[in-house]
Amino acid sequence: MAAARVEFAQHGFAGTTLRSIAARAGVDPALIHHYFGTKMGLFQAVLALGVDPTRQALPAMLDGPREEAGQRIVRTFLTMYEDPQFREPVLAVMRTAMTSREVAALAASFLQDTMLRGLVTLAVGPDPARQVALAMTHLMGTVLGRHVLGLAALQGEVDALVDELAPVVQRYLDGAHRDVTGPVGS
Amino acid sequence: MAAARVEFAQHGFAGTTLRSIAARAGVDPALIHHYFGTKMGLFQAVLALGVDPTRQALPAMLDGPREEAGQRIVRTFLTMYEDPQFREPVLAVMRTAMTSREVAALAASFLQDTMLRGLVTLAVGPDPARQVALAMTHLMGTVLGRHVLGLAALQGEVDALVDELAPVVQRYLDGAHRDVTGPVGS
């Protein structure tokens, strides 16, 4: 576990192999495989995450027309966070990330190498990686406001939030977020 | 301090008076005034916040045409968080809010009674309080991604982020965030 933490922190999730962790720990890779299964299993153990936050979410977000990706991403993301069994361990990692640069780097590399990289094909425009990051951190902020701060203004049905956020996320994916529509009323 | 914590947690920032805290603590309100100055001073002490995160920000966000509020809000908010002297204590409160329901309630009531309520006049549309909450939690997510997770895709000049986020925040304030513009490319 200590060896894994160092390797993941130094090389990120994608840049780390079970082999390099095994080498650092002075054990056979098969031993790691035996106890933790996959690299993801070991990573979850290192972050004390009881769930793989992307295994089901990513296909649900990717599978369908690109023009409706905003809708799928927002619904899938917000629905996951309605479940305390999912939400609490993820928020625990976020909390630790706020204290520890090492955990922050791990969480960032995980987010980068799974969710953000996985969704980047849905974005068109000048900087797809940035567009996806803007969209997903927007949704993280929504979760923070709804579930951590419990802001009254962000309670109510998930469906309502999906209706409000999906067009915004879609606009980020389309690279159309800078387009200024005329102000409504004033 | 203990009395203040209980009163703020039970009645929120706006619903708490120095008088009620003094009554709970069994002291004269003048004594609190002597040591902590205003209610805000006491609140900052309770949250161990070294700064008042809204005193300068709110006027800077409010002062100007409503049609440019998105620009002012995003620039002011992101610029504040560039300064570690401001950022670190606020993130410390956020971190604690993730562990303690009491601190979360305090932070939420503070955010509600200062920033969110202060900006609500800038929003037009079906639910101004919600529109402001969506906009501000979006920016909190950006700060989380940029400063806590240190996502590579969200680094670079603040000016660039302002250009990208201001139209989105403006659209929330205008109640135009649900409007779907045609997808660009595909």
pTM of the model: 0.83
d(CA B56, CA B122): 17
Q: Residue B93 is encoded by which pair of tokens? A: 């409160």
- pLDDT of A186 reads 39
Whether chain A has a CB inside 8 Å of the CB on B105: the answer is yes
Distinct helix (H) and strand (E) counts, chain A: 11, 0
- pLDDT of B168 reads 97
Phi and psi at residue B88, in whole multiples of 5°?
A: -60, -50
A137 in Cβ contact with B144 (< 8 Å):
yes
pLDDT tens-digit series, residues B71-86: 999 999 999 999 988 8
Q: Residue A10 is encoded by which pair of tokens? A: 């130094």
pLDDT tens-digit series, residues B3-54: 888 888 777 787 889 999 999 999 999 999 999 988 888 888 887 776 676 7
CATH number assigned to the domain covering A51-174: 1.10.357.10
Residues of chain A with C-beta less than 8 angstroms from the C-beta of B153? 116, 127, 129-130, 132-133
- pLDDT of B181 reads 58
Sign of the torsion formed by the C-alpha atoms of A118, A39, A104 and A147? positive
Q: What is the DSSP string of B65-110?
A: -GGGHHHHHHHHHHHHHH-HHHHHHHHHHHHHHTT-HHHHHHHHHH
> What's the one-letter identity of residue A36?
F
CATH homologous superfamily, domain B2-46: Homeodomain-like (1.10.10.60)
pLDDT tens-digit series, residues B141-151: 999 999 999 99
d(CA A4, CA B100): 30
Residues of chain A with C-beta less than 8 angstroms from the C-beta of B141? 137-142, 144
Q: Quote the percentage of chain B above a pLDDT of 70.
A: 94
Sign of the torsion formed by the C-alpha atoms of A168, A169, A174 and A175? positive
- pLDDT of A122 reads 97
Nearest chain A Cα distance for residue B178, angstroms = 5
Encode chain A (186 residues) as per-residue pLDDT tens digits.
Answer: 888 888 887 777 878 899 999 999 999 999 999 999 888 888 888 877 766 767 789 999 999 999 999 999 999 999 999 998 888 878 878 877 877 787 888 888 888 888 899 999 999 999 999 999 999 999 999 999 999 999 999 999 999 999 999 999 999 999 999 887 544 443
pLDDT reading at B102 higher than 90: no
Q: Which of B97, B138, B178 is opposite residue A138, by nearest beta carbon?
A: B138
Residues across chain A: 186
CATH number assigned to the domain covering A1-46: 1.10.10.60
Look at phi and psi of residue A43 and say left if phi exceeds 0, alpha if psi is from -120 to 50, else beta. Answer: alpha
Nearest chain A Cα distance for residue B165, angstroms = 8
What residue ranges do the domains of chain A occupy?
1-46, 51-174
pLDDT tens-digit series, residues A26-77: 999 999 999 998 888 888 888 777 667 677 899 999 999 999 999 999 999 9
Mean pLDDT in residue range B150-176? 96
The predicted complex's ipTM stands at 0.83
> What's the one-letter identity of residue B115?
M
From the number of C-beta atoms within 10 Å of its C-beta (0-12, 13-18, 19+), residue B29 rates as: middle
> When comparing pLDDT for A57 and B93, which is higher?
A57
- pLDDT of A154 reads 97
- Cβ-defined contact of A181 to B179 (cutoff 8 Å): yes
Whole-Å CA distances, A123 to A109, A171, B44, B176:
20, 9, 42, 22
- Cβ-defined contact of A176 to B181 (cutoff 8 Å): yes
Mean pLDDT in residue range B122-137? 96
- pLDDT of A98 reads 79
> What's the one-letter identity of residue B160?
A
- Mean pLDDT of the residues in chain B: 88
Number of Cβ within 10 Å of residue B14's Cβ equals 13
CATH architecture of B57-174: Orthogonal Bundle (1.10)
